[in-house]
Chain A
């Protein structure tokens, strides 16, 4: 299966969908900082892997797929749920990359330049996530 970018998908998303994701992401990041201040970095750090994008994305995908089917006069409820399920399955594969990101930062942030460690960990998150996705597709 080929990976491609479809910029027309951006037009399907309304401004309030972007606003919800900005507000939710901002809220979780601020909350993680407040929790870390109050309870320490041990508890606050848990929220660095909080599912901040997934709830809004799954809801949005379900809505888009349902509307697409309904515009053709079909019932899109099942299709919407299925698309949200596939998106969530992708996120579970991405979470393996997220674990590797945390592992790399934990191991190297005090030893090496922090910015290089963050950039490297992000690239590694992407590489591991894509590798897991390709392995899953091949099985």
Chain B
């Protein structure tokens, strides 16, 4: 419980810092780079390294590559849909989360469990 609370605070803080950096930068396409900052990864890996082992952190980083591929597809689809269709971004970002989950899980299964 305490461990989850520490993760929550550190994760929230790092995500907020990268989000604020993205807020102040222009042009918007450049600021968008910070939407893909390794914020959750930095918080999680820092805690993993201190509380678990380096091999555990290595396993997490390996899976993260599948998550990053899914992120690329998620963000690309979001960009296309927002440009072409008249949906609100909150709706599109949330509806695309299952796509991220599916691609990340699919890549992980195909590359590392078969």
Which residues of A are at the interface with B, using a C-beta cutoff of 8 A? 1, 3-7, 9-10, 13, 18, 21-30, 32-34, 36, 40-62, 77, 80-99, 101-103, 105-106, 109-110, 114, 118, 121-122, 125-126, 129-130, 133, 136-137
Contacts and interface: CB of A to CB of B under 8 A. Distances in A.
26 contacts: A6-B24, A13-B23, A27-B11, A29-B44, A41-B56, A41-B59, A46-B67, A48-B45, A48-B60, A48-B61, A48-B64, A49-B65, A52-B40, A53-B22, A57-B35, A88-B75, A91-B75, A92-B72, A94-B37, A98-B38, A101-B41, A105-B41, A105-B61, A125-B37, A125-B38, A129-B33
Report, nearest first, the 7 A-B pairs whose CB atoms are least far apart.
A90-B32, A29-B11, A25-B15, A49-B67, A45-B63, A94-B36, A26-B12
Nearest to A125: B38
A6 B4 CA distance: 35
B46 A62 contact: no
Interface in B57-90: 57-72, 74-76, 78-80, 82-83, 86-90
A123 to B, nearest CB: 11
Contacts of A110: 54-55, 58
- Chain B interface size, under 10 / 10 to 19 / 20 to 34 / 35 or more: 35 or more
Given A25-B39, A87-B28, A98-B36, A54 B75 contact: yes
> What secondary structure prevails in chain A residues at the interface with B?
helix
Contact of B33 (A30, A42, A91, A118): A91
Given A62-B82, A102-B64, A118-B49, 10 more contacts: A3-B25, A5-B26, A10-B23, A25-B19, A41-B57, A47-B40, A77-B86, A86-B32, A92-B79, A102-B68
Contacts of B72: 92, 95-96, 99
Contacts of A82: 82-83
